[in-house]
Amino acid sequence: NILENLRECFTEKKTEVENLMERTLEVKRTKGELQDLLTLDEEFEIKAKISELQNEIEEANEMLNRMKEEENSLSEKVNVGMNEFQQIANEVDDLEKKHYETVSRIRELKQHQTNKVTAFGGDRVIHLLRVIERFQGSFGRPPIGPIGSHLSLVNGDMWAPAVENALGKLLNAFIVASHKDSLVLRKCAKEANYNHLPIIIYDFSRPRLNIPRHMLPRTDHPTALSVLQSENVTVLNVLVDMGNIERQVLVRDYDVGKTVAFNPSISNVKEVFTLDGYKMFSRNGVETILPPIRNRRSGRLCSSFDDQIADLEKEARRATELAGKQKMRKREADATLNNLRNNLHNLKRIKDEIQEKETELEQLKIGRDEADAKARALRLSFEDLCESANGEIDALGRAEAELMKIEEKIESAEAEKAYYEKLMGNKVLNDIKVAEEQYCKLERDRKENFDKASLICPESEIKSLGEWDGSTPEQLSAQVSRLDQRLQDESRQCSESIDDLRMMYKKKQRKVSRKQEMYKVFREKLKACWRALNSRQEKFEESRRYLKNQLIREFNSHLNKKGFSGGIKISFKEKTLSVEVKMPQDASRDGVRDTRGLSGGERSFSTLCFSLALHGMTVAPFRAMDEFDVFMDAVSRKISLNTLVEFALAQGSQWIFITPHDISMVKPEDRVKKQQMAAPRS
């Protein structure tokens, strides 16, 4: 094998040497051809053309740069002109919109001047009053409204904006004497297409409320009650009971309002309103300032609308004049913008022509580069061929030296081959023949002994006994005798035959195997049951812990609506549950009061919060709560009622709330229905 490999290597090297010789001749031939191609005339012509193209390219680049600068300058001017044009257009739109709003406001004020009632509901309230007049006989007592039409200001119209901001939607409300009248009025409003009409149920026979001085705000600033007057006592009573106007303070500006609203020494102040529309109040130590409502239209309570109409007409004329000036500016800007666009268009056309010429120059430049590259390639090719020829000659010398070494290795390998062939013929072959003859003799002896032993005992029985333990024939004979004696003794004791016993043994063994399999199956089922039990126990503990945390969280969430806080202690081991509540006045202390130490209203509110927390964790299509607001003050009752309504709407199930108290604060909706029973007759 070594000799053959050396011969193959010798053949390959010889072929490689022949190939190198052929390539060397080809390189020499190519070298001569390149020398003939590269002449001096072509080189001079290429250099002259390159210089000419370079000059043209530089001139084109200078002109293109100048055009780009002019284009950028014109583009900036066009952008500035477009921005100015857009700004003027926006100003014109704003002025036209303002003029439209002013004209609409003037039209409304003139309508209010003709009929004051239209200021509190527009044309809808006129239609409603006509429908009420038609249904006059259906009312127990004629309704009063809108409230704003029964009010007037004392000592001028200065406080009109602040009072309107304070009363809000109450100005559009109607007052009825009973629930039955409210239903009739709601029907009238529906016929007049007056949706969401505010209706207040109040006792018309109640005299004018006399508010003690110590219950009024301790300040020199006027209140909403002090600047309002009405010939109807019921209207003022409703504003006091429903709007708390006796505790709404009116101030001139923002700074004075902050001083009055957030001064703890000034008591009985519910809200502060400024002339410029700010609303300020403090609840539970939290200071709140609401900004003026955008686009609010005031002046509905003013005694005269002439001044407002005159001011608005001046403003409309001024807006019209400004709009005319801006439109003129818009036309001028549009003309300037068109001129700039035309100049920019002409410049772009010139630029496109220059770019076309530049493209032609680029093509010439590409031709120049190709010629230059061709010259460089020819030079490099010539140099590479020279280097390649030198390398090929060196490689040829190395290949010849390597070929000589391979020939020497072949001669050495042939000598070694002859030596080892002679050595095998003299010594090794004789020993192999003697070993083969001895192996054949031993194989014949083994077959004869095997045949003799098979007559005495089959080979399968010997294999079943296992490996030979080294016992002699005498020891084996003695062991056989003992086994025969034992067999006879056992046969005398047992009446069954060995075959019967063997069958019985196999039967019992199968039965034991079945029982073991059954035990194994039962054991696996038992393990699966234990795993399921442990998993359910863990999930039960996790669910119990989650429900406990959810109950505490929901309970605290409902308590926070009134500034309370608290907790629920649950012991699953002792099966106990205790509720603890912390009042706002206890914030500086760590003590938590038990519900038994709370007042009646506080205990009712805490119980309501606990019930809502439980309701939030359960699912039921129908729920009912009776007298949930007993012993509560007005604030707690309002918070509780709003909380219950919001909770019921969010839950989606049907709720029934039963209470003997006033529910007028609940606004009827599509999903909220109010049913009020008539008062019991004395």
Distance separating alpha carbons of residues 188 and 142, to the nearest angstrom? 13
Return the pLDDT at 168.
85
| Rounded Cα–Cα distance for residues 279 and 261 (Å) | 9
Q: Please name the residues in contact with 218: beta carbons below 8 A apart, sequence gap of 6 or more.
A: 265, 266, 267, 268
- In degrees, rounded to 5, the angle at the alpha carbon of residue 655 between the alpha carbons of residues 649 and 658 is 120
| pLDDT of the residue at 286 | 82
Cβ count near 138 (within 10 Å): 14
Q: What are phi and psi of 380, to 5 degrees?
A: -65, -40
CB contact at 8 A, 236 and 228: yes
Classify 295 in phi/psi space as left (phi over 0), alpha (psi -120 to 50) or beta: left
The predicted pLDDT at position 641 comes to 82
The pLDDT of residue 442: 83
Pairing of β 228-229 and β 152-153: antiparallel
Confidence (pLDDT) at 527? 95
Give the Cα separation of 1 and 260 in Å (integer): 116
The rounded average pLDDT for each run of 10 residues, N- to C-terminus, in the chain (682 residues) is: 58 65 65 55 60 66 67 66 67 65 58 60 82 88 88 81 87 92 93 90 90 88 90 91 91 91 88 91 85 69 58 66 68 69 69 68 68 68 65 67 73 72 66 78 81 73 68 79 81 75 89 94 94 94 91 88 84 88 63 58 81 84 82 79 83 83 78 79 50
- CATH code 3.40.50.300 for 547-658: yes
Query: What is the Cα–Cα distance from 54 to 361, expressed in whole angstroms?
Result: 9
The residues facing 672 across adjacent strands are 669
Select from 367, 379, 409 the least CA-distant residue to 9: 409
**What pLDDT is attached to residue 271?**
93
Closest among 62, 55, 63, 61 to 350, alpha carbons compared? 63
Strand spans (E) along 127-270: 152-153, 174-176, 199-201, 228-229, 248-251
b/e 279-307 (16+ beta carbons within 10 angstroms → b): bbbbeeeeeeeeeeeeeeebbbbbeebee
DSSP class of 231: S
In the numeric block, which tokens belong to residue 208?
């004018």
Instruction: Give the Cα separation of 452 and 263 in Å (integer).
Output: 129
> How many whole angstroms separate alpha carbon 544 and alpha carbon 256?
56
Q: Does residue 584 contact residue 284 with C-beta atoms inside 8 Å?
A: yes
Q: How far apart are the first and last CA of the chain?
A: 134
Q: Output DSSP code: residue 121.
A: T
Name 187's Cβ contacts closer than 8 Å, sequence gap at least 6.
135
Domain extent listing, the chain: 152-300, 547-658
- C-alpha angle with apex 441: 435 to 446, nearest 5 degrees? 125
